[in-house]
Structures are given as C-alpha cells and as structure tokens.
Amino acid sequence: MKKKVLVIGGGIAGIEASAFLSNMGFDVTLVEKEEKVGGHLNNWEKLFPTMRYGSEVLDFLKQGLNGKVKVLTSSELEKIERIEDQRFDISISSGLNETADAILVTTGYELFDARKKEEYGYGIYENVITSADLEGYFNSNREVRTSGGKIPERIGFVHCVGSRDEKVGNVYCSKVCCVTAVKQSIEIKQKYPDCEVFCFYMDLRMYGMHFEHLFKEAQEKYGVQFIRGRLSEAFENQDKSVLIKVEDTLLNRPLKMSVDLLVLMVGFVPAQGTLKIGRMLGLENGINGFFKTRDQHTLTNVSNVQGVFFAGCCTSPKTITNTITDARAAASTIAAYLLNCEIDKRTVNTRK
C-alpha cells in the first residue's frame, strides 16, 4: 500500500515538498487554509536579486502538483490524532477524514504587525506604509502616491522593523528585509527617477550571492543613499509628510529629515497557523517562537514528534531560494523515514 503524507500549508515549501513526495510515489494530501496555494508569493511582484516575476517561480512550482497531489484549499485542520504507533488520523474542516504515515508542517510565517512599533506611526500617520503595502502597489500596478495624491519626492526605508529588536520581543534577523529594501528602492527609482531614496539601517546584511551586486547597483546606477542609524521616532508634519529622527551614527550627530513616504521593512514572525498546529501536535518551539528542529545543523527538517517534519519558514525566516531547497530536503528526509532507510537512523552525539 502507498504510504501517505499530509502536508500542512500550501506556500512555497508545501508545494515543492508535495511535488517531490508525490513524484517519488507517495500519496500526498496538501491542506491550505486560503482559497489558493502559493502563500505570500501571491502578493509579491518582483523578486530579489534578479527582479524576475514571482509568478514565474510560482508557475514553476505548481507544475509539480499537476494531478498527482490532492490539494484541499480553503481547508483547515480540526483534529490530528495518533491512531497507531506510526499513523495519524486527521479531520479537516470540510468534513473530510484522512490518515497519514507522516506529516510535513509548512505553516510558514506572518509579517510583523508594524503597529506594534508605535513610535514609527504605522496606522497613525497617513504616509507611513509597510514594505508589503508598497509591494501591493507594484503587484497591482498602482502608482505610488502620498496620501495627498502627490508623487513622492523623498522616500525613507526603515530597516529592521520588528527584527533584531528586543523591545518587540523579536531578537532574530528576518534575513530578507535588507535586500528587499534595496530591491524596492531600485523599483522606486525606476518608476520615479526624481524621487530621492534613503535607507536607514544598522547593518546591511547582503549575504546572498547576488545581493551585494544589487546593493552596488542601487548606489551607483540609481543613487540610493544609505544612512547608518536606526530611527527613534517619526512625527507627522502639518503637510502630512513624515518627520523622522535618527542618529547619523557615522558622524555621531542626531539628524532629522522630512520624507513624503516612510516605508517600514517589516520582518517575519511565526504564523498563527504555526502556533495552532504546534499545539495540536505537541511540537516544541525554539527561543524565537518558530519550531525547534531536532538539531540545528544536521536534523533541520525533523521535529520532536516521530513522523512529523518541517520545511520552510515555520522553523526560521528564509528566502524563497532557501525555502525551495529546504522543501526538497524535507521530502528526502520523509522518504528516508517512510522507506525505513538506514540513513534515517543516524543520531547526533554531543561531545562532553
């Protein structure tokens, strides 16, 4: 009999892992709570570092699902129970019941709620938006305008909003926001060449293979300017532009500047679905609220519960490239488990 795998979450990781597992000959059911699969990628127009369309990547991934995977959209898990030692009984909101020999959790992330960083004024000042809002303009082909309908003449990007910030409880780096700011500032300059763009950062983490190149292009070709310093607060001027306060940490002097539009680069937080599934399955959380993997170096797709595996951003913030790779890694880890391969029996020994 074909072994069955349940994949929870139809984002990038869920789609790619389902595709690989089904092609390997397993019986795969993919459960997605939204109306369509693709997760956050549906909301993103172009991707760093190549500026290619997100939809191209999504189309590629979806080819893998072609008829082989049972995809249940607008569906949520109601109950998961272990029936035998190595099998699970699953109830889905549509009234469906399934069994599974292994479960892959790909519940992903949510974007940090910028209103929690109240001093930056998101939801209070009209001209403070998030990186996701800005991408929404690009994705729906709307012109970027201030609340007063004017083409912005100066835009500020604020890095690390909700990341590396103990005050909001998130001490980790979200990994993608630095280069997203660079990408979006280039797009702004392409659309509105007369607009001045400033990025406010504490570190620029251009770790990816082509990120540094993109960063250099933003400076050289597009004249984007980078000021090292983290915003303390933002205010609203009478004309509704935003007055920001920052230290120019290289000159050791406080600086104030008015911008027509302030873009907050929001980080990743564990999704509500991640928390919910975690409780249902008894999965351990790490220090940052993301799932804790069995080992940080070697068993990165394995959970503390036998037969339950992880892929994608439910264990840590990841780029799309990293997520796809992680999904394939999870697929082979699950295959090794279900086929009872020797390699699945390895353990990590800690030296004293």
Partner 1 sequence: MKFGFEILKDRQIDFDKLDRSFSFYLRESEPSFRLCIFCGTCASGCSAAKFDNFSLKNVFLLINRGFTEQATDEIKKCWLCGKCVLSCPRGVNTRQLILKIMQKTDNK
Closest to partner 1 by CB, 122 vs 201, is 201
Stretch of residues binding partner 1 (CB under 8 A), selected from 100-108, 222-230, 269-277, 313-321: 222-230
CB of 176 to partner 1, least distance (A): 20
CA separation for the pair 118, 82 (Å, rounded): 44
Binding residues for partner 1 restricted to 158-217, rule: CB under 8 A? 204, 216
Size of the site for partner 1 (CB under 8 A): 17
- Using alpha carbons, select from 136, 201, 177, 182 the residue that is nearest to residue 267: 177
Rounded to a whole number of angstroms, the minimum distance from the CB of residue 227 to partner 1 is 9
Cβ neighbors of 350 (< 8 A, separation 6 or more) are: none
By beta-carbon proximity to partner 1, the closer residue of 223 and 282 is 223
Distance CA 213, CA 209 (A): 8
**Rounded-to-integer distance, Cα 178 and Cα 303, Å:** 30
Q: Candidates 36-44, 98-106, 245-253, 324-332: pick the segment binding partner 1 (CB under 8 A).
A: 245-253
- Asked if residue 148 binds partner 1 (CB under 8 A), the reply is no
Distances (CA, A) of 149 to 63, 143, 194, 238: 41, 10, 16, 16
Q: Residue 74 interacts with partner 1 (CB under 8 A)?
A: no
Please, are residues 87 and 99 in contact by the beta-carbon 8 Å criterion? yes
352 touches partner 1 by CB under 8 A: no
**Binding segment toward partner 1, per CB under 8 A, in 50-58, 136-144, 253-261, 327-335:** 253-261
Which H or E run contains 346? none
Residue type, 113: D
Which residue among 228, 240, 276, 328 contacts partner 1 (CB under 8 A)? Answer: 228
| Shorter beta-carbon distance to partner 1: residue 5 or 199 | 199
Tokens matching residue 159? 């890095």
3-state helix, strand and coil shares in percent for the chain, rounded to the nearest 5: 30, 30, 40
Residue 255 as a binder of partner 1 (CB under 8 A): the answer is yes
Cβ 266 to partner 1, closest distance in Å? 24
Question: Footprint of partner 1 on this chain (CB under 8 A)?
Answer: 204, 216, 219-220, 223, 225-226, 228, 248, 250-251, 253-258
